[in-house]
Amino acid sequence: MPMKVLDATLSTFQGVFEKFTSEAANNKANLILFLADKDPSTNLSWCPDCVRAEPVIYKKLEASSDNVALLRAYVGDRPTWRNPHHPLRSDSTFKLTGVPTLISWEDGAIKGRLEDHEAHLERKIDTLLSDD
């Protein structure tokens, strides 16, 4: 399936997000996945929920026959993310409370979202994708 993946860090997020939204009309589904950074010593996320959800999300997206764009946005290391003034926690659009968070983006707005406690559930991912 034609899946386009863009990666963004906290410092590059705004520019990558603008590119993502400018190309959004070309895709059947536009998804943003907010993740915790990977620990360089293990190459796994420091967030156990991210480690659990990522493979399930990727499997579902790769199985889709639609054009899907995925923006993976890394929120930082644990101390950065835990800061209550983290830019994505206070962002008026995303209002993140946890990672991973999977968002369906359509027409310049959030159409649906799966929070950290449900982002690994296949049926919820299916519902999010079918709403597009």
DSSP state of 75: -
For 46-76, write each residue's pLDDT tens digit.
999 999 999 999 999 988 878 899 999 999 9
Domain range 3-130, CATH class = alpha beta
Which of these is catalytic: 50, 53, 68, 71?
50
102 carries an active-site annotation: no
Is 79 assigned a catalytic role? no
Q: Which of 29, 33, 36, 47 is catalytic?
A: 47
Q: State what percent of residues in the chain have pLDDT above 70.
A: 97
Handedness of CA 65, 71, 75, 76 (dihedral sign): positive
> Which residues are bridge partners to 35 per DSSP?
74
Please identify which residue in the block is written with the tokens 């983290």.
86
Containing 110, the helix (H) or strand (E) segment is strand 109-114
The residue type at 37: D
pLDDT tens-digit series, residues 71-120: 999 999 999 999 999 999 999 999 999 999 999 999 999 999 999 999 99
Pairwise pLDDT comparison (42 vs 34), residue with the higher score:
34
Q: Mean pLDDT score of the chain, rounded to an integer?
A: 92
The whole-number pLDDT of residue 2 equals 65
